[in-house]
Amino acid sequence: MNHRARHVSESWSITEQRELDRLVRWALAEDVGRGDITTRALVPSAALGRARIIARQSCVVCGVRCVEAVFGQLERRVEVRPVVRDGDRVRAGATCVRIQGPARALLTGERTALNFLQRLSGIATFTWEFVRRVRRYRTVILDTRKTTPGWRNLEKYAVRCGGGRNHRQGLWDAVLIKDNHRRCWSQDGSSRTLADAVHVARRAYPGRTIEIEVDTLDELRDALNGRPDWILLDNMSLPELRKCVREVRGRVRLEASGG
């Protein structure tokens, strides 16, 4: 039994597809190398097979596209029939994908396909656990740039499948002023406020989202004078977060991170 997550985004860009194709090529080259010698030794080339991918535990499925991509690159005669779609929540024991075709290809590609499916489903499921806990509040779960190198688009897609939202894609699409930026900016010893940093960033990149990190309530008050789009409350305790929410009163978006 499975059901569709209500807030799944099924958008899949050409860029994401190209990244997936590239990652699949690398993954197959890494695992298969010059050939699957065990399968070649034991399995006749004409043998056909059928396989199912089954969920061992309840989860949010993500990576069905990856399974299709793996077998599509490995052997065109393999037929991949998804039973569920990315973003579906399934119970333990549910069949997620049915596969049939040359047995050699099924054996050679199974681990690579599962590596994609298991990792992305893990991210989607973990995201959904957080989303489920905060859904009665006006709170959303955002992702970060702390992604596996080369996997950013796929892992951010998994976050969407779990009901979370994508935040910054990279360093180019939004300004996030962190404490290290501020230290380098004011290393000449001059007195500069957080509001000044927001104003400088706004002049340099008008039209871009401006976010600034704060560590204390006083820093929050300083940053508010710059009228940023977001303020990041970094590593604060719950009582500190409550004070900051009361102070802001909805004037800017707040992000809580760390701890």
User: Residue 178 catalytic?
Assistant: yes
Catalytic residue among 40, 50, 111, 145: 111
- How would you class 190 by CB atoms within 10 Å of its CB: exposed for 0-12, middle for 13-18, buried for 19 or more? exposed
Residue 192 Ramachandran class (φ > 0 left, ψ -120 to 50 alpha, else beta):
beta
Catalytic residue among 6, 34, 138, 146: 146
User: Residue 243 catalytic?
Assistant: no
Catalytic residue among 16, 36, 234, 240: 234
DSSP 8-state code for residue 215: S
User: Residue 173 catalytic?
Assistant: no
Q: In sequence order, what are the residues at sequence separation of 6 or more whose Cβ sits closer than 8 angstroms to the Cβ of residue 123?
A: 62, 155, 158, 159, 162
User: Residue 138 catalytic?
Assistant: no
Catalytic residue among 178, 192, 227, 242: 178
What's the one-letter identity of residue 68? E
Q: Is the four-CA dihedral 125, 130, 135, 140 of positive or negative sign?
A: negative
The residues carrying an active-site annotation are 111, 146, 178, 213, 234
